[in-house]
Copies of this chain bind each other. A is one copy, B any other.
Amino acid sequence: DRPFVLIAGPCQMESRDHALEVAAALKEICAQAGVGLIYKTSFDKANRTSLKGRRGLGLSAALSVFAEIRDSLGLPVLTDVHEREQCAPVAEVVDVLQIPAFLCRQTDLLLAAAATGRVVNVKKGQFLAPWDMDHVVGKLDDSGNRNVIVTERGASFGYNALVVDMRGLALMAERTGCPVIIDATHAVQQPGGLGAATGGERRFAPLIARAAVAVGVAGVFAECHPDPDRAPSDGPNMLPLTAVPGVLATLKELDRVAKSAPISSHLSPEAIGDRST
């Protein structure tokens, strides 16, 4: 198995300059750490808790910035789409189209993303079991696009709380054959936790990432920001850029151990004495 990849960037594209600055900083951090990077940012936050929440630069302004990040920094780029019509124009300038968790069951959006031929990263809905992703991936497969990534970002656990079931990471990899990513920063959100905004506990994002890397994921998704406490969205759960090098160093070591003894070697019927499977 290959070394893990980092998918990182600020929650929303705040401006051209901000986007380029953060992308350049992350490029440098990942080069130092010897970790592959996909730059992530959103042009529109389409499901903010309140109308008053800032939503980002918007599609038309963002397209040229995505192109510039790819061209000037040589970074692959990922962004999320919310409506069918967005898929084709976005696919011109990004490498990975992401389906938001709330929308992972919307057939037409999945098919429009698949039709672009780009890699499609589907976030698992907070309301789905790991095995429910079989059908989501199946819709994409049936449409002919097999470049699919699956991302875990936590499951509903009572009200205003999420929990990550680490078993789901191995189950989804085993069942779908897709690379599985842990979204460490959304997994520590507290939905509804701040009243009119989503809360979060950023200090647990490295913990979730460490546990998932020890299980053996294909990559870690973590939103980062130069100054999370002043970010227009997801501040409570984003990592400050200054924390990323230390976190990455530990993850890289854990990844090496995990990949040298794949979880499937422990899970195999032979290793585990399981006669029933």
Residues in B whose Cβ lies below 8 Å from that of A158: 157-159, 161
Q: Shortest Cβ distance from A47 into chain B, in angstroms? A: 4
Interface positions, chain A 213-247, Cβ under 8 Å from B, are 213-215, 227-229, 239-240, 242-243, 246-247
Residue A29 lies at the interface, judged by CB distance under 8 Å to chain B: no
Can you give 17 A-B contacts (C-beta < 8 A)? Answer: A50-B138, A51-B142, A102-B103, A102-B125, A126-B127, A129-B192, A132-B191, A156-B156, A163-B165, A167-B204, A203-B274, A206-B263, A207-B267, A211-B211, A228-B273, A240-B273, A246-B271
Residue A70 lies at the interface, judged by CB distance under 8 Å to chain B: no
Binding-face segment, A2-10, A13-21, A115-123, A253-261: A253-261
Q: How far is the CA of A73 from the CA of B114 in the complex (A)?
A: 43
Binding-face segment, A32-40, A89-97, A105-113: A105-113
- With most chain B CB atoms within 10 A of its CB, the pick from A50, A170, A196, A227 is A50
- With most chain B CB atoms within 10 A of its CB, the pick from A188, A192, A266 is A266
- With most chain B CB atoms within 10 A of its CB, the pick from A49, A159, A261 is A159
Interface pair B46/A107, CB less than 8 Å apart: yes
Residues in B whose Cβ lies below 8 Å from that of A247: 266
Chain copies in the assembled complex? 4
Interface pair A51/B166, CB less than 8 Å apart: no
Q: How far is the CA of A234 from the CA of B170 in the complex (A)?
A: 23
Interface size class of chain A, counting residues whose CB lies under 8 Å from the partner chain: 35 or more
Residue A54 lies at the interface, judged by CB distance under 8 Å to chain B: no
Interface pair A272/B202, CB less than 8 Å apart: yes
Interface positions, chain A 46-71, Cβ under 8 Å from B, are 46-51, 55
Interface pair B266/A203, CB less than 8 Å apart: yes
- What residue of chain B has the Cβ atom nearest to residue A158's Cβ? B158
Closest 7 CB pairs of A and B: A158-B158, A214-B214, A240-B273, A129-B159, A211-B211, A206-B266, A47-B105
Interface pair B273/A229, CB less than 8 Å apart: yes
Residue A24 lies at the interface, judged by CB distance under 8 Å to chain B: no
- With most chain B CB atoms within 10 A of its CB, the pick from A158, A243, A249 is A158
Residue A265 lies at the interface, judged by CB distance under 8 Å to chain B: yes
Per-residue contact bits, chain A 188-209, to B (CB 8 Å; 1 contact, 0 not):
1001100010000111101110
